[in-house]
Amino acid sequence: LRHFSSTGFWGLVNNAGISTFGETGWLSMETYEKFADVNLLGSIRTTLEFLPLLRKYKGRIVFMSSIIAYFTLGNGIYSMTKAAIEKFCDALRLEMKKFGVQVCIIQPGNYARSTRIQPPVSAEEIWSELSEEEKAVYNKEYVQERADFFNSILSEGSTNGHEVVDAMVDALTSPAPKARYMVAKLKEKALVFVCALFPTVVMDSVLSYALSK
């Protein structure tokens, strides 16, 4: 409150996020709770705290989501939290219209090399942390293949992080901001298009093929 300008409290950007790699049974319940706490509940806690000021000054709320909200390739825990935050935003956007508060979602593609949100995956570390039950189902070769696949995705990430920042700035300052800003490569947008409009069996086939490669 001491640092308010004449415009009051104009914008809130919920940007905090963490990422990791691992199939569903490889991750502990504590890991799921940590990810939900940071990626989902963290944004909700911050939003609720500032909501009175945002309503008073007809401000903006910007959330960092991801195209991974639509599909997953080895990081389902991250996808889960981004899909959840999207639905929270959809409800909030409709509810805030009557107060003149606008809610925007940023949906970046692969910017892993810009943000370094996800370090390279170590198959040895993954294997050492697996339960005995999981080790009985999978083998080291499989874990190594999945780790190599995920690391190859990380290495393809864009270094043009300013593109995402530009979208955030537009969401905060444009007279008519978009509800969603998808900042991604053409092939990433195409994947989202297939996921959104085609039957699930089609998307499953596409992703299964990608994983098999």
CA distance 111 to 66: 10
CA distance 176 to 152: 38
Q: Are 201 and 209 in contact (CB under 8 A)?
A: no
For the annotated catalytic residues, the residue numbers are: 78
In the block, residue with structure tokens 């809130």: 12
Structure tokens belonging to residue 107: 């949906």
Amino acid at site 108: P
> Please, what's the b/e burial string for 168-205 (b: 16 or more CB within 10 A of its CB; e: otherwise)?
bebbbeeeebeebbbbbeeebeebbeebeeeeeeebee
CA distance 53 to 11: 10
